[in-house]
């Protein structure tokens, strides 16, 4: 494990550029051929910039597939080299550190190639846990579909594997390769909520709360300081996430799984005010000075919060805020960016 730790002491010059920079650098021959000696694109001292693009140029003509490390490669002793039906080799490894939630856009240019993304705990615990891969394009450029980019979590490490596609005659592409990495904001959940109420002594009485969220989201109806009883939560189509991001099991890099190409569509929204949830909070009394909230959230995405402040036996105008992924703090709508 020492090589990966030692490499952090010699951070590439590109990681020290301003956050808005677009940087590209040539690396020494052989750099990144071994997973334990990767090309450092960004690290915890100089995280992946936002906005900005970092990248590197490398010649993979003589690069290889690693073998002989069963602990690292899940028991078969060899680095994984298949994405769906695509076989690849001459792999180059690089690593990044994300200090915010977001989507990662990785582009490889130079020859027909395959891209894989794995996560790992930290430089002292580098065994990869795996992730998505893509081989959706034929030709000199490869990337994840723009409308289906992998997501990254705040304060996490990621390893990027790029390999040359194996042609029908058995040859594996290699040579001059340019890899670029850009961190983009998280997707934002799109939902809605409505409140029907009547005045009562000391506050309002709820007639109904309408809740509306996209597939893959969780909707929570609550009051500040639990002043109106137990919260109620509703998962919307658990098996269908907003972003389809296949992730392999925790077996160290045992298998990458192909990212499916998707065409942009209108937000897929499922109304949840029929049947079981149409009477959510019905009959509850909400006292003056209390805030009624409806939060619509999904993993690794910016959440949406709808709320009403109850004063003088009336509910105020519906207000809307946003919630950063992994947070509970409400911010002004439009101010959330994954940080």
Kindly report which listed range (8-12, 26-30, 125-129, 145-149) carries the lowest average pLDDT score. Answer: 8-12
Mapped onto helix, strand or coil, the DSSP state of residue 4 is: helix
Phi then psi dihedrals of residue 233, to 5 deg? -125, 145
CA distance 164 to 286: 62
pLDDT at 222: 92
Phi then psi dihedrals of residue 60, to 5 deg? -100, 15
Strands 176-184 and 113-120: unpaired
Phi then psi dihedrals of residue 297, to 5 deg? -135, 155
pLDDT over 70 (residue 189): yes
Secondary structure percentages of the chain, helix, strand, coil, to 5: 5, 45, 50
CB 135 within 8 Å of CB 44: no
Residues 6+ apart with CB under 8 A from 276: none
pLDDT over 80 (residue 335): yes
pLDDT at 69: 76
pLDDT over 50 (residue 21): no
Strands 314-315 and 330-332: unpaired
pLDDT at 74: 59
pLDDT at 273: 34
Could you read off the pLDDT of 197-234 as tens digits, one per residue?
A: 999 999 999 998 888 888 888 999 999 877 788 888 88
pLDDT over 80 (residue 275): no
pLDDT at 75: 60
pLDDT at 41: 95
Kindly report which listed range (56-65, 70-79, 99-108, 118-127) carries the lowest average pLDDT score. Answer: 70-79
pLDDT over 70 (residue 95): yes
CA distance 162 to 181: 12
Residue 67's CB: how many other CB atoms inside 10 A?
11
Residues 6+ apart with CB under 8 A from 302: 185, 186, 187, 188, 189, 322, 323, 324, 325, 336, 337, 338
pLDDT at 233: 87
Residues 6+ apart with CB under 8 A from 328: none
pLDDT over 80 (residue 282): yes
Quick one: average pLDDT of 181-188?
95
In the chain, % of residues over pLDDT 90: 58
CA distance 6 to 20: 27
Quick one: average pLDDT of 290-306?
94
Choose between 278 and 264: higher pLDDT. 278
pLDDT at 293: 94
Give the residue among 139, 54, 144, 156 at the shortest CA–CA distance from 107: 144
pLDDT at 211: 86
pLDDT over 50 (residue 17): no
CATH class held by domain 2-184: mainly beta
Could you read off the pLDDT of 253-274 as tens digits, one per residue?
A: 434 444 443 333 333 333 333 3
| Structure token digits, residue 319 | 């207000």
Give the residue among 29, 25, 34 at the shortest CA–CA distance from 6: 34
Domain residue spans of the chain: 2-184, 192-236+272-332
Quick one: average pLDDT of 5-32?
51
pLDDT at 130: 76
| Residue 13 burial (10 A CB sphere; 0-12, 13-18, 19+) | exposed
In the chain, % of residues over pLDDT 70: 78
pLDDT at 24: 64
pLDDT over 80 (residue 73): no
How big is the CA angle at 232 (ends 227 and 235), to the nearest 5 degrees? 155
Choose between 325 and 251: higher pLDDT. 325
The mean pLDDT value of the chain amounts to 81
How many residues are there in the chain?
Answer: 339
Could you read off the pLDDT of 50-62 as tens digits, one per residue?
A: 888 999 999 999 9
String of DSSP letters for 299-325: TTSBEEEEEEEEETTEE---EEEEE-T
Torsion of CA 30, 63, 108, 55, to 10 degrees: -10
């Amino acid at each position: 494990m020492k090589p990966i730790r030692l490499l952090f002491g010699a951070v590439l010059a590109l990681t020290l550029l301003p956050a808005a920079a677009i940087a590209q650098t040539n690396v020494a021959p052989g750099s990144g051929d071994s997973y334990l000696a990767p090309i450092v694109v960004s690290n915890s001292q100089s995280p992946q910039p936002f906005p900005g693009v970092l990248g590197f140029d490398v010649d993979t003509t003589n690069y290889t597939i690693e073998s002989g490390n069963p602990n690292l490669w899940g028991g078969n002793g060899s680095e994984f080299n298949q994405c769906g039906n695509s076989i690849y080799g001459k792999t180059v490894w690089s690593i990044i550190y994300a200090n915010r939630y977001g989507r990662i856009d990785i582009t490889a240019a130079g020859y027909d190639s395959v891209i894989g993304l794995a996560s790992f705990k930290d430089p002292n615990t580098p065994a990869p846990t795996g992730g998505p891969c893509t081989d959706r394009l034929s030709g000199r450029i490869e990337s994840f579909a723009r409308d289906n980019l992998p997501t990254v979590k705040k304060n996490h490490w990621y390893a990027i594997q790029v390999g040359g596609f194996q042609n029908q005659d058995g040859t594996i592409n290699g040579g001059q390769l340019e890899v670029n990495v850009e961190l983009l904001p998280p997707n934002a959940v799109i939902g809605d909520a409505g409140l029907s109420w009547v005045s009562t002594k000391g506050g309002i009485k709820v007639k109904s709360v309408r809740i509306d969220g996209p597939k893959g989201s969780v909707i929570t109806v609550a009051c500040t300081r639990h002043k109106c009883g137990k919260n109620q939560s509703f998962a919307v189509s658990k098996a269908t996430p907003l972003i389809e991001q296949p992730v392999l099991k925790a077996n160290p890099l045992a298998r990458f799984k192909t990212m499916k190409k998707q065409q942009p569509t209108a937000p897929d929204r499922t109304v949840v005010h029929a049947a079981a949830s149409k009477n959510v909070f019905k009959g509850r009394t909400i006292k003056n000075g209390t805030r009624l909230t409806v939060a619509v959230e999904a993993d690794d995405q910016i959440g949406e919060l709808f709320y009403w402040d109850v004063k003088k036996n009336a509910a105020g105008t519906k207000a809307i805020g946003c919630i950063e992924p992994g947070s509970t703090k409400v911010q002004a709508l439009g101010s959330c960016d994954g940080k």
